[in-house]
Amino acid sequence: MINLPIGVAVIAVLALVMPSFETGRQPSIDYPGGLLLAGAVTATVFWAEEALGGGYGGVMVYLLPVIAIAAIVGFVLVEKRAVEPIVPLHILSNRTIALALVISVISGVATLGMLNYFALFLQTVTRLPPAYAGLLFLPSSVGSLVASIGTGYIVARTGRYKPFPVAAMALGILVMLAFATVHASTPIWVIGILMFFFSFSIGLQMQTLMVAVQSSAPHRDVGAATGTLTLARMIGASLGLAANGGILTAGLLRGQAGISAETLAAMPGTMSEMTPAAIATLPATAAQEVVEVFTTAFGSVFYFAAGLFAVGLICALFVENKKLEQHAAEPGPQVAVAE
């Protein structure tokens, strides 16, 4: 509810202040492509949550992938015939663009799809109060800001963008492996450093991949390529929320099978229903046992993310090491801007 007034205010400002302009033509909106893409993403997200979480063994686990594949095939066929496709398929023949899209989906799963779980991780595993857990997101914000500004400046000076996605993926692996070792007695300053470098890895690759895509796409397709990259990130974030949540739930269910009968009797619900507030009401021994289960379950999530970053690193290594064309043509510092 807090965000609703802010959203209404933003819409009002856009309606009143944003200038209007005429393009001189009537755009052709690709409604069938949009519906098929939404169906494919929705089916995949539901499947990831149910299959990875182990909470549903019915026919939908097998039916949803079929629906997703059918929607993807239909989407490709529609895009080939659309006057103004959502995703111009010919841009995928460009290696840099194709790899940037794959990296963006992977990064969306491992970063944007992970952020929402950090608050729960900090409050359950480290037993931090909500206020302290919230403060630990400040280093995260600083890390992303510093990396984004720094990479923008360096790319503008050198015209080279490949090193930054490579460094981002490599750093992501190290950070996720380090998070997998965090436990209740880990010093807060260590967690703060990890939060900083987690978002630092995000800042290293988000805008540089955008620059890579915009500089690699034909001029007429720059807008479509930019939108496709943003779409890839959002798809990754949606998949990440489902996949990470499913892995966490599966880990909690496995851990519940190994806890003592005394702790089970003291718990107000199943392990997947435990909240930081519920854990705080448990006896000390039971609370410690529950926290250990959460620690192990979150470890699985972090190892999964580290594996994704490893795949992203391999993809980043195959991105062409090219200079920005305008930078190569005009000596001196250039400004690398990604909208």
Q: Render 115-157 in DSSP notation, one character per residue.
A: HHHHHHHHHHTS---HHHHHHTHHHHHHHHHHHHHHHHHHHHH
Low-confidence ranges of the chain (pLDDT < 70): 1, 21-25, 52-57, 325-339
- Please tell me the predicted confidence (pLDDT) of residue 334: 45
Rounded Cα–Cα distance for residues 315 and 31 (Å)? 32
Query: For tokens 């529950």, what's the residue?
Result: 290
β-partners of residue 160 are: 323
In 3-state terms, what secondary structure has residue 76? Answer: helix
Instruction: Tokens for 290, please give them.
Output: 């529950």
Distance of CA 229 to the CA centre of its chain: 13
Rounded Cα–Cα distance for residues 167 and 205 (Å)? 8
- Please tell me the predicted confidence (pLDDT) of residue 326: 60
Whole-model pTM: value is: 0.83
- Please tell me the predicted confidence (pLDDT) of residue 23: 65
| Burial of 277 from C-beta contacts in 10 A (0-12 / 13-18 / 19+) | exposed
Rounded Cα–Cα distance for residues 183 and 329 (Å)? 52
In 3-state terms, what secondary structure has residue 323? Answer: strand
- Please tell me the predicted confidence (pLDDT) of residue 52: 67
CB neighbours of 322 closer than 8 A, spacing ≥ 6? 96, 162, 215
- Please tell me the predicted confidence (pLDDT) of residue 55: 54
HSE of 120, CA atoms in CB hemisphere, 13 A: 18
pLDDT digits (tens, 9 = 90+) for 191-214: 999 999 999 999 999 889 999 898
pLDDT digits (tens, 9 = 90+) for 229-271: 998 898 888 888 888 888 898 888 888 888 888 888 888 888 8
In 3-state terms, what secondary structure has residue 160? Answer: strand
C-alpha separations of 54 from 31, 46, 117, 131, 249 in Å:
35, 12, 19, 33, 8
C-alpha separations of 176 from 68, 171, 313 in Å:
30, 9, 14
- Please tell me the predicted confidence (pLDDT) of residue 196: 95
Q: Are 336 and 155 in contact (CB under 8 A)?
A: yes
C-alpha separations of 76 from 19, 85, 212 in Å:
35, 10, 24
Q: Are 117 and 248 in contact (CB under 8 A)?
A: yes
